[in-house]
Structure 1
Amino acid sequence: MKKFASLLLVSILGGVISIGAYKFFSDSPEKVEQASVFEQPTLLPTNFVNNPTKTSNAANAGIDFTVAAEKTIHAVVHVKNKITTVAPRSIWDLYNGTGRPQTQIGTGSGVIITPDGHIVTNNHVIKGSNEIQVTLNNNKNYIAKLIGTDPSMDIALLKIEADEELPYISFGDSDNAKIGEWVLAVGNPFNLTSTVTAGIISAKGRDLNEGDNLSQSFIQTDAAVNPGNSGGALVNTDGELIGINTAITSQTGSYIGYSFAVPSNIAQKIVSDLLEYGDVQRGLLGVSGGSLNSVVAEKLGTEETQGFYVSKVFTDSGAEKAGIKAGDVIKKLDDVKVSKFSDLSGYLSSKRPGDVVNVTVLREGNYKKIPVELKKEKVRASVNLMNMKLENLNKEDAKKFDINYGLKVVDNKNKQLFYDLGITPGYVLVEVNGNKVKSAKALQEFIDSYGEDKVKILAFINPKGQYERFIFR
């Protein structure tokens, strides 16, 4: 009996040990595996160089630049200008007022904006040119005709005659462009084929001269723009033209992160004016003043630090007739916010005389919306230089001499110029110090800025159509 009890006890203990062993070997591996999963450290890559799976932020965001590029690259052209000047090469040339022709070549880009061959580029790309050549993206060459320019906004309009309809880029609304929006800069700098770079709009309403040039209001972008890309297209992701690439800010002369474009609304208005009127029609508000900031606001005794402070309202201007007063702060033009002077000047540059602009002003703590009709800029018709009276060319004289610049001598009371040099009424002054004379206003601005004593070289076309150049010591 005792032997049976001992066997029974051993059997029970053996069963317990067997069950325990089974549970140990069946349960433990599962727990160990789970522990290894949760405790395994996560490794994050810190170097993405040569990672074939790495994509750009734009691609990750689902932005496709290929459609915009395909729409635009064939409408951007290479522009080459030839500038021929006559300069003295010896002391005898200097003494006799003669010289030998010298030719310089300048290059840039341009944008076809109509299927019949109108091209927008920068004024500085074709400035002073005697001949302008345009090369399309298919390597076809054309001689371009200069339709007109707006030096203040650095825009020029060209025309080529092609046997077929040309690819072109449609204007977009630059006022609707937003900071942070993706854009492409398209240029043709090396006369090969068009090149494309991408970036975002970094800022709007940039004034590079801090108000010295009343018309400056650039779009700033970080899309790479280098010398030779001037006059090219800035387009949005829909392939619409929102700017003409114009300038870079750089200490090296090459792109370092800042480039600037004339907004398309301004460029389109300039083009329309040149085609319809032959010159740029500027609508004037009739006020002067400056941008507000904390320093100016403190001096003026106002808490406003953004907007355009009106210090003077001109007599008989649209602003005066509408009731705008000195001391008003302009906060908006139509739906465009005015934070600084370039916001105001840039928007007005897209308007013409006769247009009505709703001006929102802050006056004594209250906002007022005042409709103002813009007035036409008064054109200076004549100017006096060295006791000569000169007037802007009329259409007949421009056609006779086949030029679109210069001032006609209508009276000359300078005895030396009249009797010794033979400059009589009928002569056309075309250059001062080697620079083309565009208008009486431009010449007067030169005289006001530098004085007549800075005039060293005058170039004329005589009544027979011959070029004459005079050097003054």
Structure 2
Amino acid sequence: MKGNMRKIGITLITAFVGGAVAIGAYKLLEQKSLTGLSLDERQKVYFANNPSEITSSAGALDFTQAAAIVSPGVVHVRTTYSRSAGNQGGDPFGEMFEDFFGRRRPSTPNQNSPAPMGKGSGVIVTDDGYIMTNNHVVENAEKIEVILTDKRVLQAKVIGRDKNTDLALIKITATNLPIVKLGNSDLVRVGEWVLAVGYPLTLESTVTAGIVSAKARKIGILTSDNRNNYDPENPPTDTSIESFIQTDAVINRGNSGGALVNTKGELIGINSAIASQSGTYEGYGFAIPVNLAKKVMDDFLKYGEVKRGYIGITFQELNADNAKDFGTEEIDGLYVNSTLEGGAAASAGIKKGDIIKKLNGADISNSSNLQEKIGTMRPGDKVQLTVLREGSLKTYNVTLKGDEGNKLASNNSASVSEVVGSLGAKFAPLTDATKKKYGVSTGVIVTEVVAGKVFDMYDMPKGTIITSINGKGVNNNDQVVAALKQDPKMVSLQGIVPDGSRFRVTFPIK
């Protein structure tokens, strides 16, 4: 009997040890296997082992579970900039983001003044320290610190930044961190309850509640020229992707890069901007959809850069005001103004004058929605575009192409580089409204000035209007380049500075 009991005991011990070894080996293999997985896949592994306590709070006005589970995964991001940054303060968007982001900058920097600093928020998306935030939170920062909810302060490094979406991925060295579960922004509905979590103003971790006010909002904060009017001869040239989720949850300075979550505690957006005349909350906050953020973050992890697919077209939203200008009675859809020769759309058979109605069978009525959907895809991905042509709907299978698909949208990138190199400035076409305001028939507006280059030396700031170069009227970058080539040694400019004063200047140029 004792011999049998001893055998049973030995068997049980062996089984227990064997099971423990198997579990340990599984955990080791699981940890190694995470390398190369997408954020969605890594999160599925995490939440399989750490199930959420939240089942559903849909329809209930009790956000305590969602707030409790999300708050530990939202961190405070603190940045420091060099004194040499001067009044720029490291902020590429200048005053546009200054009030929202909460960066403080000395008016007259000197060696004894404190280094410019900024504050924002971030969302932990993997338990080993990957954090989503905004590009404008960390761009040009010399030092990035992440303050966790347990009050630890850790140094962070930038893994990748994307100006086109205002997204960035940073990394801290830590393990077993609390993370925020990724949701699906395609399922977000106008009117549903949401929570904004971040570090506003000078406060610690803060949760506010509101609803989704709108989707696919374009507010012009990422574009070089926010144009409300459209000139068919000068199509838009920026490649930014703005398709914000709009919310009335209170968002303020310091909330940049924080979480917008649904009542299940799932991340649906990265808070990025507010619409405000005072610099503080006035009812309108904007978040980057998480599906777009996931794709950008995965690109950083897999490729070290964003791999963006392009259709190879320029287009304009149709409405009751502009339909006649395009020779159509349609007031809904996207009018194809031009296609890139050899680009994805042209290769598939799409032509100038087509009106895009659907993407993969879903209605498309605004540019933001199309850009968001295409922004989640990569070169080689296939989409179906349904267009209206001569009164009939036709569907085309389009294979997205890589950077070559951006040449048209950037309005001849080689020419733009030449302009920047010679004058130290970037230009965008004037809107009809601006031409009418200043009483000019031609002109480009300066959207960027490079420090130390010609425009900076001659005090021609951003917002300056150039009406002619070397006696030739200019309306776009190609015309600017052509006018400059008339005299490669001297250049004569006429235009209007932002205060409305007109000028004419001639100077030598390399």
User: Which residue number corresponds to residue 65 of structure 1?
Assistant: 63
> Do the aligned residues in 1 keep the contact of 2:133 with 2:270 (CA within 8 Å)?
yes
User: Which residue number corresponds to residue 198 of structure 1?
Assistant: 209
Q: 1:325 to 1:190 in 2, by over 3 A?
A: same
1:120-139 matched pairs, under 5 angstroms: 120-139=132-151
User: Which residue number corresponds to residue 461 of structure 1?
Assistant: none
1:247 aligns with 2:273: yes
User: Which residue number corresponds to residue 322 of structure 1?
Assistant: 348
The CA distance in 1 between the partners of 2:300 and 2:457, in whole Å, is 32
In angstroms, what is the RMSD of aligned CA positions? 3.1
The CA distance in 2 between the partners of 1:266 and 1:302, in whole Å, is 33
After superposition, what is the alpha-carbon deviation per residue over 1:59-96, rounded to whole angstroms, capped at 9, x for unaligned? 9943432222122110000000000133799xxxxxxx
The CA distance in 2 between the partners of 1:385 and 1:194, in whole Å, is 46
Secondary structure of the 1:375 match is: coil
User: Which residue number corresponds to residue 453 of structure 1?
Assistant: 454
> Do the aligned residues in 2 keep the contact of 1:288 with 1:310 (CA within 8 Å)?
yes
Q: CA deviation at 1:170?
A: 2.1
User: Which residue number corresponds to residue 343 of structure 1?
Assistant: 369
The CA distance in 2 between the partners of 1:60 and 1:363, in whole Å, is 43
After superposition, what is the alpha-carbon deviation per residue over 1:90-135, rounded to whole angstroms, capped at 9, x for unaligned? xxxxxxxxx8486111001100011110001111111221000100
Larger Rg: 1
Q: Which amino acid aligns with 2:159?
A: I
Q: CA deviation at 1:294?
A: 0.4
After superposition, what is the alpha-carbon deviation per residue over 1:386-444, rounded to whole angstroms, capped at 9, x for unaligned? 989xxxxxxxxxxxxxxxxxxxxxxxxxxxxxxxxxxxxxxxxxxx99xxxxxxxxxxx
> Do the aligned residues in 1 keep the contact of 2:199 with 2:206 (CA within 8 Å)?
yes
User: Which residue number corresponds to residue 186 of structure 1?
Assistant: 197
User: Which residue number corresponds to residue 33 of structure 1?
Assistant: none
In terms of fraction of residues, the more strand-rich structure is 1
Secondary structure of the 1:283 match is: coil
1:116 aligns with 2:117: no
The CA distance in 2 between the partners of 1:386 and 1:69, in whole Å, is 48
Question: Identity, % of aligned pairs?
Answer: 46
Q: CA deviation at 1:334?
A: 1.6
- Give the alignment's TM-score, normalised by structure 2: 0.61
Q: 1:371 to 1:133 in 2, by over 3 A?
A: same
> Do the aligned residues in 1 keep the contact of 2:361 with 2:386 (CA within 8 Å)?
no
Secondary structure of the 1:268 match is: helix
Q: 1:278 to 1:323 in 2, by over 3 A?
A: same
How many residue pairs match? The answer is 337
- Give the alignment's TM-score, normalised by structure 1: 0.65
The CA distance in 2 between the partners of 1:293 and 1:335, in whole Å, is 21
Secondary structure of the 1:347 match is: helix
Q: 1:100 to 1:61 in 2, by over 3 A?
A: closer
> Do the aligned residues in 2 keep the contact of 1:290 with 1:310 (CA within 8 Å)?
yes
Unaligned runs of 5+ residues in structure 1 are 1-58, 90-98, 389-431, 434-445, 458-473
User: Which residue number corresponds to residue 236 of structure 1?
Assistant: 262
The CA distance in 1 between the partners of 2:339 and 2:268, in whole Å, is 33
Q: Which amino acid aligns with 1:293?
A: N
- Choose the corresponding residue for 1:143, options 151, 155, 162: 155
Q: Which amino acid aligns with 1:86?
A: S
- Choose the corresponding residue for 2:168, options 156, 164, 168: 156
The CA distance in 2 between the partners of 1:70 and 1:273, in whole Å, is 30
> Do the aligned residues in 2 keep the contact of 1:78 with 1:189 (CA within 8 Å)?
no
The CA distance in 1 between the partners of 2:142 and 2:187, in whole Å, is 38
